Structure 1
Amino acid sequence: MVRLTQLFQRFQAHFGFEVTFCKPANGHEKGNVENKVSYARRNYFVPLRSAPSLLEWNAELFQVCELDNSGEHYKKDEPICMLFEADRKAILPLPKLEFEACR
């Protein structure tokens, strides 16, 4: 059973989101996120790129990400960028007041 701390409950109420926890010891629930991290590492950072400056390296990385973003989603047969835009429209605006997350 999951018990939320009072601080986390206040954090959740402040930002207005629902919580869904993964089940302990059920790795298949977390595997998709871990696979995405591996995908990004393999496709964006191997082999390690070099550039004259961090600014140029970031620009190159952004171009690679944009190219990937225009591809089709592996399950939904829609461009990833269209799915991302739908998600962006569904996101709630951030509260005007900051949340103090420490005691």
Structure 2
Amino acid sequence: MQIIEVLQDNYILLHQIHLHLHKISDFKIQGSKQTKDKWSKEEDLLMDFAISLFGINYKAISQVVSSKSSAQVYQRLRYLRDRQQQQHNLLCKEEE
């Protein structure tokens, strides 16, 4: 898996997604029921886009983006890549 390269190459896009999701959360807190439903749909679409683009879940993406330094980002990406590889290996063993 090339998760580190994908996320490093798309860090600006990833950061924009993260910021937009935080804005949506703020709008949902302040809005009426109808507004909340509208923003919930947009939030779901944006999360689906992030997941399909980066191949990992939004929680992992937000943890990566929330890191303070590039060293922390790199360390987090390595951890995610290693964990994905372990999960992949376990699935392969189960199929055998």
Higher helix share: 2
Give 1 or 2 for the bigger CA radius of gyration: 1
Q: Structures share a fold, TM > 0.5?
A: no
RCO higher in 1 or 2 (8 Å CA, sep ≥ 6)?
A: 2
